C-alpha cells in the first residue's frame, strides 16, 4: 500500500515479547518513535525524515554515533529505512499512540463529577470518579456501581465535564459493541459469552442483577460484565423502537437509560437453557426482547 513499507515483512522471533518491549525501553529509542509519530500530524501518509531531521527532532542529548546505534536497534521492528530516510512501521505507530494516550505512564485522578442522573435505587445523584486508569460511575449513597471503565488519561479534561462524559461513554460503547459482535476489541480474537447469576459476578452486591452477561477473550484475557439491557443496546429493533419515540440510544449516555443500567425490566424465563427477556418502555409503548445465552434475539414483542 502507498505510504506503507515496500520491504519484506520482518518480525521478532515468535513469543519474544520481552525483546520487543526491551527495544523501546530506552529513552532515546522511545523519543525516536515519538518524533516520527509527531511528524505525521493528522493527515497523509507516514512522513519520512532524513537522519539529520530525525536527530534534530529527538529531544535527547546524544551524539550522532550513539543516536544511530539506537535507531538501528529499532529498524525492521518499529521503524523502516527507505532511500529518503526513516518512518514508523505499523507496530511503531501503535507504540506511539500508546505513549500519547498516557496508557503506560500517566497517573491522574479527579472527581467526583456530576454525571447527570440520580441513582435508580435510592435517588441520590450519581457521581463519576477517575483514578488509577478507571472511570467509575457510582452512587455515593447506596454504593450501587453503574459502570467501571478503563480509559487512557492523556486527553481527559475535568474542566469540560460534558465533553469528557460524552467521550468516555462513546469510548466504552466502542469496546462493548466489539464484545457484543463476538470480537475482542484488544486482540481481535473470538469472544466467549455466558450468562451467570449475580452472586457469581465479582461486582456483587454493589451491582444488583437478576443475571449478568460475562464476555471474555481466551487469548488476551480482556473481559466485561454487563447487564442484559446494556448488552442488547445496539439491537436494530431496539434502536428503531426508541428512535421513533424520540430517544437515540446510540447517543444518550448509557447511565441515563434505566433498562441498560438496572435489571428492573429483566425476566429470566429459563436457566437451562438460558432464556432472558428485557422490556423497554417508552411513552406507553413496550418492546420486549427475548435472548438466549449467546445474546441471539429469539423474539421481539411489541405492545
Instruction: Classify 301 as helix, strand or coil.
Output: strand
**Dist CA 193 CA 213 (whole Å):** 7
Contact (CB, 8 A) for 152 and 103: yes
State the pTM of this model.
Answer: 0.80
**Dist CA 269 CA 296 (whole Å):** 15
Contact (CB, 8 A) for 45 and 90: no
> What domains can be seen in the chain, in order of their start residue?
17-101 (1.10.10.10)
Q: And the C-alpha cell for 23?
A: 527495544
- What one-character DSSP code corresponds to residue 124? P
Instruction: Classify 50 as helix, strand or coil.
Output: coil
Residue range 5-35, pLDDT digits in tens: 444 444 444 456 666 677 777 788 889 998 9
| CA-CA-CA-CA torsion sign (71, 72, 74, 80) | positive
Higher pLDDT, 137 or 96: 137
Beta-ladder partners of 135: 130, 149
- The position carrying cell 501503535 is 94
Phi-psi region of 133 (alpha: psi -120 to 50; beta: other; left: phi over 0): left
Residue range 30-72, pLDDT digits in tens: 899 989 988 876 566 778 899 999 999 888 888 888 889 999 9
Quick one: pLDDT at residue 23?
74
Q: How confident is the model at residue 285 (pLDDT cuts 50, 70, 90)?
A: very high
Calculate ∠ Cα 213-214-220, nearest 5°.
Answer: 155
- Taking residues 252-260, report their average pLDDT: 93
Phi-psi region of 132 (alpha: psi -120 to 50; beta: other; left: phi over 0): left
Instruction: Classify 103 as helix, strand or coil.
Output: coil
**What percentage of the chain exceeds 70 in pLDDT?**
89
Residue range 206-253, pLDDT digits in tens: 988 989 999 999 999 999 999 999 999 999 999 999 999 999 999 999
Quick one: pLDDT at residue 63?
83
Q: How confident is the model at residue 103 (pLDDT cuts 50, 70, 90)?
A: low
Quick one: pLDDT at residue 263?
92
Amino acid at each position: 500500500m502507498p505510504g506503507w513499507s515496500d520491504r519484506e515483512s520482518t518480525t521478532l522471533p515468535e513469543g519474544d515479547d520481552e525483546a520487543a518491549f526491551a527495544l523501546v525501553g530506552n529513552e532515546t529509542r522511545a523519543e525516536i518513535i515519538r518524533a516520527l509519530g509527531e511528524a505525521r500530524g493528522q493527515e497523509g501518509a507516514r512522513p519520512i525524515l532524513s537522519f539529520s531531521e530525525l536527530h534534530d527532532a529527538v529531544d535527547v542529548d546524544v551524539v550522532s554515533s550513539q543516536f544511530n546505534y539506537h535507531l538501528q536497534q529499532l529498524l525492521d521492528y518499529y521503524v523502516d529505512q527507505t532511500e529518503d530516510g526513516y518512518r514508523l512501521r505499523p507496530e511503531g505507530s501503535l507504540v506511539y499512540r500508546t505513549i500519547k494516550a498516557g496508557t503506560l505512564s500517566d497517573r491522574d485522578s479527579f472527581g467526583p463529577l456530576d454525571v447527570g442522573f440520580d441513582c435508580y435505587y435510592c435517588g441520590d445523584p450519581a457521581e463519576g470518579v477517575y483514578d488509577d486508569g478507571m472511570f467509575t460511575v457510582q452512587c455515593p449513597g447506596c454504593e450501587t456501581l453503574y459502570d467501571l471503565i478503563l480509559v487512557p488519561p492523556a486527553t481527559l479534561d475535568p474542566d469540560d465535564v460534558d465533553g469528557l462524559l460524552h467521550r468516555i461513554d462513546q469510548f466504552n460503547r466502542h469496546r462493548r459493541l466489539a464484545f457484543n459482535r463476538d470480537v475482542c476489541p484488544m486482540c481481535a480474537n473470538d469472544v466467549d459469552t455466558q450468562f451467570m447469576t449475580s452472586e457469581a459476578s465479582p461486582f456483587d452486591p454493589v451491582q444488583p442483577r437478576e443475571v449478568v452477561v460475562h464476555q471474555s477473550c481466551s487469548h488476551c484475557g480482556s473481559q466485561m460484565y454487563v447487564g442484559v439491557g446494556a448488552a442488547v443496546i445496539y439491537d436494530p429493533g431496539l434502536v428503531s423502537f426508541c428512535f421513533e419515540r424520540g430517544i437515540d440510544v446510540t447517543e444518550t449516555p448509557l447511565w441515563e437509560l434505566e433498562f441498560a443500567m438496572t435489571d428492573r425490566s429483566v425476566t429470566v424465563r429459563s436457566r437451562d437453557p438460558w432464556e432472558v427477556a428485557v422490556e423497554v418502555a417508552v411513552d406507553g409503548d413496550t418492546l420486549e426482547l427475548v435472548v438466549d445465552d449467546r445474546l441471539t434475539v429469539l423474539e421481539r414483542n411489541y405492545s
